[in-house]
Every structure is written in C-alpha cells, then in structure tokens.
Amino acid sequence: MAVNDGGAAFPSSVNLVRNKELAPVYQEGMTLRQWYAGQALPALIGNVDWGSVEDGREIGAIETVVAYSHHFADAMIKYEKEPPDAS
C-alpha cells in the first residue's frame, strides 16, 4: 500500500531565462509528509535520554525516533483528510 505523502509542502513556480526567453519551471520541493516529520523530529530527539542508550545501539535509537516522526506525520495527514467526528 502506498503511503499518502500529502503532496507538495511548498510548491512554487519560477521563471528561468533560457535562450533569452522566460521558461516557467514548477518545483514541488519536499512533501507534506517530510515537512511534518521534520517538525516532529526535534521534540522526539529532545525526549530521548541519549546518555542511557547503550554503546553500539545509537543507530537503532535514531531509527526508532525517525520512524516515530513519520508516524506523527502520517497521523497528521490522515487527520486533515478525515478529521474525527466532533460530536
């Protein structure tokens, strides 16, 4: 199953000069999922007691934090698409 990435976070259109003529170029940039994951990451990193991570297990801890940041991002995209019933 494909992950809903939420589309482009900051799409933009710019005009570049090519052969002395303006040529519009569309740039998608990062996805909304990447943006949300990046926004969640500092809080998650700050809540890890890195001093207690055993030597040689840092990569596993980092991968766990990254996975959680994407879980938050996925939940935010899902919420925007299907907000829970407020009643």
Segment 32-82, tens digit of pLDDT:
999 999 999 999 999 888 888 888 788 888 999 999 999 999 999 999 888
Average pLDDT over residues 20-43: 87
The band of 87, judged by pLDDT with boundaries at 50, 70 and 90, is: low
d(CA 57, CA 78): 32
pTM: 0.69
What pLDDT sits at residue 78?
Answer: 92
Q: Which helix (H) or strand (E) holds 26?
A: strand 21-27
Residue where the block lists tokens 């990451």 = 41
Give residue 86's pLDDT. 65
What 3-state DSSP class applies to 19?
coil
Q: Cα 20 vs. chain centroid, distance in angstroms?
A: 37
More confident residue, 25 or 47: 47
Amino acid at site 37: A
In 8-83, DSSP assigns E strands to 12-18, 21-27
Please state the domain extents for the chain: 31-87
